[in-house]
C-alpha cells in the first residue's frame, strides 16, 4: 500500500530471499543453515538442486522478524560463510521480487 504522502507501507513481514550458487560440495546447506540459526533467523521455505556439472543452486526464504541481526548484518555474516565455502551468496528483501513479478 502507498500512503497519502507517497511512502510505501510494507506488509510488516521481514523476510529475505537468500540465494546461494556455485560449485557443489559437502556442507553448503549445513553451513548456511547454521549461520542463519546462529542469528535466530527462521527458514520458512527452501529449494535446492544440483544442476549439471555439479552446479549448486539454493534459494531460501528466511524470516528475520525475530532475528538477532538485521538484514545488512545477516548479509555480512552469510558473505563470510559463502566465502569460506567458495560459493556466491545474495541476500535480498523479498519485496523486490514481489514488486517486480507480482501485480
Q: Residue 14 contacts by C-beta under 8 Å, 6 or more apart in sequence?
A: 63, 64, 65, 67, 71
d(CA 15, CA 96): 11
Q: Using CB under 8 A, pick the residue from 37, 51, 84, 96 that binds other proteins.
A: 96
66 sits near other proteins (criterion: CB under 8 A)? no
d(CA 22, CA 28): 10
1 sits near other proteins (criterion: CB under 8 A)? no
Residues 20-49, one symbol each (x = binds other proteins by CB under 8 A, - = not), give -------------------------x-x--
- How many of the other CB atoms lie within 10 Å of CB of 100? 7
Which residues bind to other proteins, rule: CB under 8 A?
2, 5-8, 17, 19, 45, 47, 57, 59, 61, 71-72, 75, 90-101
Amino acid at each position: 500500500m502507498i500512503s497519502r504522502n507517497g511512502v510505501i507501507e510494507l506488509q510488516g513481514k521481514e523476510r529475505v530471499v537468500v540465494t546461494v550458487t556455485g560449485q557443489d560440495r559437502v556442507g553448503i546447506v549445513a553451513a548456511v543453515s547454521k549461520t542463519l540459526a546462529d542469528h535466530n533467523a527462521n527458514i520458512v521455505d527452501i529449494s535446492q538442486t544440483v544442476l549439471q556439472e555439479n552446479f549448486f543452486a539454493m534459494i531460501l526464504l528466511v524470516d528475520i522478524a525475530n532475528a538477532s541481526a538485521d538484514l545488512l548484518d545477516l548479509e555480512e555474516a552469510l558473505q563470510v560463510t559463502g566465502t569460506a565455502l567458495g560459493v556466491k551468496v545474495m541476500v535480498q528483501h523479498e519485496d523486490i521480487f514481489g514488486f517486480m513479478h507480482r501485480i
